[in-house]
Amino acid sequence: MRKQYDFSKSIKNPYLRKPKKQVTIRLDEGTIAYFKAMSRQNGIPYQNLINLYLRECAQAGKKVAINWS
């Protein structure tokens, strides 16, 4: 292995459309169970389903109705 590599002529991965960022998020157990059950039905990983749903909410401009009782 070299001590130093030259990346000055490197290019971005042309096959990577939109990179994803890893985050930590706390979700209720019931919410996770819901998406895991849906993932088993559809054959899609539950993290992808959560991402698809959140993206759809963001694109539609959905707002959260918060009612503190």
- Output the CA–CA distances (angstroms, integers) from residue 28 to 7, 31, 32, 34, in the order listed: 43, 5, 6, 10
Nearest CA among 66, 60, 37, 63 for reference residue 50: 37
- Output the CA–CA distances (angstroms, integers) from residue 37 to 29, 34, 46, 58, in the order listed: 12, 5, 8, 23
| Confidence category of residue 13, pLDDT binned at 50, 70, 90 | confident
- Asked which of 3-7, 37-41, 42-46 is least confident by mean pLDDT, the reply is 3-7
Q: Are 52 and 42 in contact (CB under 8 A)?
A: no
Across the chain, mean pLDDT equals 92
